[in-house]
Amino acid sequence: MKKTLLMILSVWVGLLSAISLAPAALSQQVVQYQIAARLDPQAKAVVGSETLTWLNPSSDEVRELQFHLYLNAFKNEKSTFMRESGGQLRGDQAEEGKWGYIDVQSIKLDSGYDLKPSMKFLHPDDDNADDQTVMVATLPEPVRPNGTITLKIDFYSKLPRVFARTGYFGNFYMVGQWFPKIGVYESSGMRYATRGQWNCHQFHATSEFYADYGAYHVDLTVPSNYVVGATGVEQGNHPNKDGTTTHTFVQEDVHDFAWTADPTYIRMERLFDASRLTTAAEISDVARLVGRSPEDVSLQNVRMILLIHPEHAAQADRHFRALEYGLKYFGLWYGRYPYPTITVVDPAYKAGGAAGMEYPTLFTAGTGWLPSSPPSGLEEVVIHEFGHQYWYGMVGSNEFEESWLDEGFNTYSTSQVIDTAYGPSSLSIPFMGIPFSWFISSIKYFEDTVNRLETLGSTRRDYIVRNAWEYYDQTSYGVNSYPRTAATLRTLQHLVGDQTFARIMRTYFERWRFKHPTSNDFRAIVNEVAGRDMKWFFDQLVYSSNILDYAVDKVSSERPKLSLGLFDDPSGKRKEVTEDDRKKQEKEAADSKKRNDSLFESEVIVRRLGGVVVPVDVRVVFENGEQFDTTFDGQYRWTRYKFLKPTKIRYAEVDPEHRLLVDVNLANNSRTLETHHRAVVKWTSKFMFWIQNLLMSLMALV
């Protein structure tokens, strides 16, 4: 009896300790996917079977389930994706006859109830009856609040020739958005939902994705000579009798699963050793900056996996170094990377459509045989796509509806990492695959400059926040979602201060990781951390297409002139001031100038040329070194400053600290009293020289 009691006690203690040792889930695990998939290299297809357990996170009874069938975007030219993209995305062309699609062959409840008869396609965004990227299945009984439902789905995914993120080229496979994926059920009050509803958009040319967090357990069966990489941790693999191998990957707290296979990959693995790559001083500095303890800021080790093609093997170090910078700075600034692995995929040459894409714990980079010197596109794409582990992966904003929250935030963060880690980049324009920067010293620039310049032409068409498929065009989507957001966040940083902004970003990440925030949630955190209402900023720079442009319109410094005419003195005597009196006075003033005690009437006019009203610093510098600083509130279109001083103005400048990165014209931000022709002559003569050379080359042809 005693023995039995002891046994029961020890089992109980063991169970309790097992429960306490198991890592707590980081997210509300709404979905549990168990997928078995087999790659058919001949058919360029994946045959799969998934068991999906879905938790109804709301207090509603849910009577239907909606699914994304993303691959159907590549089924024909009538899909919404193809209509919007014209069969062309990110420089890649869809190839005729190499379509992709996904067939749901069977969909049943675990009770065996067949949902297929109720299956139909929805097109909530554009009423395109030909689009098959969203599917709905009606349930025989509703899923109760906080209840679960388990489905078994068999599917056949025919991969397209790599075009938009996913597909094959030769033996290279990048398999993303490949399985029937349930949408997000938003209960009333969640994000913008006013009542319980499915958020399950069609696949658009300019949209990315949105899904619930959960756990994935995926068995991938591929020919044994293929090297495989996937979301999550590989738990093991076992060869099969038919010459294939089954690889098992598992990962919790992610909202998607992607994988890649190619027999020519070289697999490399290195450890991100947090103790080696971050110093105590760095941790302490960042801790102070973001207002957290050093323990909160410190990082953890991560296994870095690189799947690289032999042609690029010499660039492995550059990939790893860039990834280390990403893990380090994103981790220090926003919060540590919580997953044990991160996999970088180097897409095959001519599979550029698969390059530069993020998936949870796995992303694709992209390089060429002859890359420019670092930091180049290689480093930028590695750091940017890694950054999406934060702004998309962990902070799960809705990319369909608020692309700025992932792409823009990530462009901002990427820029900060590149500038911090590498310094200025070099402009590199390759010719026939050879980067010019190898031969000539190239123009250096910081990322802020590029983000600002790319923004210049964009603001007149759209607000930053908009449904991804409703921007004026693809360019406007790109510019507003990426660089304009980055430049706007940088401007916000300058306005609230570096430390406050660092705390805003940290707080936003910490509060919203593994959740689905909106723009309003970010704005609330800005107000909370900054301690002031920044609505005016968001109204004008995020929810507006106005431009910001302040200018110094006029600068003058003149000696006061004697007024001509008849003047009565206090005694009642009338005196006439003539031209001779004025000349005499001017002569005296000229003499006093030599003595340096002549007074000048100076005037500065500052104008607001754009529609955005932001308080702007104004600085007036005088020839004697004196400086006058003030702020123009910008409420009216212009303001005038007058001075009476024994010195002339040297120059006047608005925004002297260059805080307003989104100002569209920096040349008019200052005005000097004296004219400067050196730059004009220098660049005109250069232009003339270029034309002369052009004409000389023409001479050789005639």
- Tally of CB atoms within 10 A around 196: 18
Distance (Å, whole) CA 45 – CA 352: 20
- Tally of CB atoms within 10 A around 237: 16
**Residue 644 interacts with other proteins (CB under 8 A)?**
no
Residue 323 CB, nearest approach to other proteins (Å): 22
Q: What is the dihedral of CA 462, 468, 473, 478, to 10 degrees?
A: 80
Closer to other proteins by Cβ: residue 151 or 654: 654
HSE (side-chain half, CA atoms, 13 Å) at 438: 8
Tell me the angle at which helices 316-333 and 407-422 cross, rounded to the nearest 10 degrees: 110
Closer to other proteins by Cβ: residue 324 or 653: 653
Q: Which residues, numbered 46-75, are part of the site for other proteins (CB under 8 A)? A: none
**H-run or E-run covering 383:** helix 377-387
Which residue from 456, 577, 589, 613 is in contact with other proteins, where contact means CB under 8 A?
Answer: 456
Residue 599 CB, nearest approach to other proteins (Å): 23
29: Cα separation from own chain's centroid: 26
Q: Which residues, numbered 141-200, are part of the site for other proteins (CB under 8 A)? A: 169-170, 172
Closer to other proteins by Cβ: residue 529 or 552: 552
**Residue 96 interacts with other proteins (CB under 8 A)?**
no
Q: Which residues, numbered 287-316, are part of the site for other proteins (CB under 8 A)? A: 311
Q: Position 558: which residue type?
A: E
Beta strands in 255-327 (DSSP E): 259-262, 266-272, 302-308
Closer to other proteins by Cβ: residue 573 or 678: 678
Which residue from 653, 655, 660, 662 is in contact with other proteins, where contact means CB under 8 A?
Answer: 653
**Residue 113 interacts with other proteins (CB under 8 A)?**
no
**Residue 701 interacts with other proteins (CB under 8 A)?**
yes
Distance (Å, whole) CA 391 – CA 326: 13
Closer to other proteins by Cβ: residue 438 or 687: 687
Q: Which residues, numbered 429-448, are part of the site for other proteins (CB under 8 A)? A: 432-433, 441, 443, 445
Residue 312 CB, nearest approach to other proteins (Å): 9
**Residue 460 interacts with other proteins (CB under 8 A)?**
no
CB 548 within 8 A of CB 661: no
Judged by CB under 8 A, the number of residues near other proteins is 62
As given in the structure block, the two tokens for residue 440 are 């000539």
Whole-number CA gyration radius for the chain = 32
Residue 600 CB, nearest approach to other proteins (Å): 18
Nearest partner of 236 among 216, 250, 223, judged by Cα = 250
Which residue from 35, 416, 651, 655 is in contact with other proteins, where contact means CB under 8 A?
Answer: 651
CB 549 within 8 A of CB 609: yes
Q: Which residues, numbered 654-673, are part of the site for other proteins (CB under 8 A)? A: 664-673
**H-run or E-run covering 478:** helix 474-479
**H-run or E-run covering 85:** helix 80-85
**Residue 698 interacts with other proteins (CB under 8 A)?**
yes
Q: Which residues, numbered 345-374, are part of the site for other proteins (CB under 8 A)? A: 348-350, 368-370
HSE (side-chain half, CA atoms, 13 Å) at 671: 17
Q: Which residues, numbered 539-558, are part of the site for other proteins (CB under 8 A)? A: 555
- Whether a cis peptide bond, with omega within 30° of 0, leads into 375 is yes
Closer to other proteins by Cβ: residue 446 or 543: 446
Q: Which stretch binds other proteins (CB under 8 A): 195-203, 380-388, 558-566, 688-696?
A: 688-696
**Residue 679 interacts with other proteins (CB under 8 A)?**
yes
Nearest partner of 359 among 541, 232, 500, 517, judged by Cα = 232
**Residue 630 interacts with other proteins (CB under 8 A)?**
no
Closer to other proteins by Cβ: residue 104 or 162: 162
Q: Position 482: which residue type?
A: Y
**Residue 696 interacts with other proteins (CB under 8 A)?**
yes
Task: Give the interface with other proteins as residue ranges (CB under 8 A).
Answer: 169-170, 172, 264, 311, 348-350, 368-370, 427, 432-433, 441, 443, 445, 449-450, 452-453, 456-457, 555, 651, 653, 664-673, 675-689, 691-696, 698-702
